[in-house]
Amino acid sequence: MELKIGESIQLEGGKTAKVVSQLGEGGQGIVYSVTLDGKDYALKWYTCRFQNKKEFRKNLKNNISAGAPDEKFLWPLYLTEEYKGSFGYIMNLRPKNYSDFEDYLNNKVRFSSTETFILAALNIVNAFRTLHRKGLSYQDLNDGNFFIDVNTGDVLVCDNDNVTPDGMKNPGNIGGKPGYMAPEIVCGKSHPNSLTDCHSLAVILFKLFCRHDPLMGKAYVDSVCITEKREWELYGSKPVFIFNPNDDSNRPVPGIHPNPIKTWPRYPKFLQEAFIKSFCDGLKDPNKRLPENEWQKLLIRFRGTCLKCPHCGAELCLSLIPHGDTLKFTCGNSYSYPFAMEDGKHKTPLFPGAKLYSCLTSKNIDDYTSVTGEVIMNKKDPSLWGIKNLSDSEWSFTTKSGETKKIAKGSVIPIANDLEIYFDGISAKISK
């Protein structure tokens, strides 16, 4: 049953929300703008029929009591009383600077930079890492679940009403959205869980990077009609990754699938291999799907290989340039192949403008957004580069001759071959 503009809705606990306007509509219900205590919120009002409404409502209530697992989730805040045979829940509104993920997929919006694009991927991954760490599974991960600020890379996750303790079947009996569901769900062999979330997450990341479905290629195009049976084969019983190195039967079709053909070669081999593992081994064995912490490491590594010309801002992906080659930017500026810093977990190219983050300079810290260092040029001699300490910790380094020097905040470590650097519990070596 739809609600009327101006209608008042009673919430559990005694508060009242007033319907202001309709914001959108989906398979489960309608989203309205409402006012509550003088502030604007969103109300998701269910128009679907539940097989087990009592348990679904109970699960929602438990999630509201537990609170959001992370600030990036537009989490249910209040549950309404039953009204006109249905109910809903209140959540925060999406800020106006956020776009639908679908707008990005349809090329209506673009990221301001490669760094921002990768940060959005990191934020998506980390949100679900936090969710799974709390023993929950999302169970309905798809392109309609994200709002992205393409200027900052910040992400918000919506439609969290299907979040359920991992291993428990969602009382709403939601399997997921076609194209995002893991093969074992499509084939009816499993209920949604954290491992099926990992498949859906890989699909989201592939679409973010390639703007295309990882399983939609020649086999899909050659299908005369996409019946339920054919969709069951393409996504469930016989799925083939469009870039499967051992099976070219489902490659992207030129003229029909331009996005993956154009974008796939732009990405470094280690990122391609991650998708190959996800959509080859991972399609058959859920335990071989990449967990969020592996995606996080790969994305941090990828971000480190994206270099920006300090003069014109043009970007290059270092991992696509043969080691030792000169770096040439579109503006005409060129630089020698940069030094790299290795700590056993990460290899970070050191290039003017490159940033170091807490996860690279502090032991057991996952923070990939706080900048702790930056590679700078010597103003008098641009050929001399160094790492400026922007953290609150004191660093030190050992020269090739064995001399150790301390580097306080604001001071600079010169970049030179065979230099040992000691950060906050992490040691790294610079090499050419």
pLDDT along the chain (432 residues), means of 10: 92 95 88 96 90 89 95 96 93 95 94 93 96 94 92 95 88 77 93 95 97 96 86 93 97 97 94 97 96 94 87 81 80 82 86 91 90 92 91 91 91 91 93 85
For residues 66 and 410, give the distance between their C-alpha atoms in angstroms, rounded to a whole number.
Answer: 42
Spatial contact of 217 and 237, defined as CB atoms under 8 Å apart? no
Q: Are 385 and 378 in contact (CB under 8 A)?
A: yes
Q: DSSP letter for 212, please.
A: S
Q: What is the pLDDT of residue 175?
A: 65
pTM attached to this predicted model:
0.92
Q: Which of 204, 214, 212 is nearest to 122 (CA)?
A: 204
Side-chain-side CA neighbours of 410 within 13 Å: the count stands at 0
SS3 162: helix
Answer for the pair 124, 77: CB distance below 8 angstroms, yes or no: no
CA distance 152 to 372: 19
What is the C-alpha to C-alpha distance for residues 58 and 36, in angstroms, rounded to an integer? 23
In sequence order, the β-bridge partners of residue 146 are 157
Q: And the tokens for 300?
A: 């941090």
CB atoms within 10 A of CB 379: 7
pLDDT score recorded for residue 415: 92
69's tokens: 């697992």
The CA distances from residue 40 to 32, 91, 201, 312, 313, in Å, are 10, 10, 31, 43, 40
pLDDT value of position 228? 85
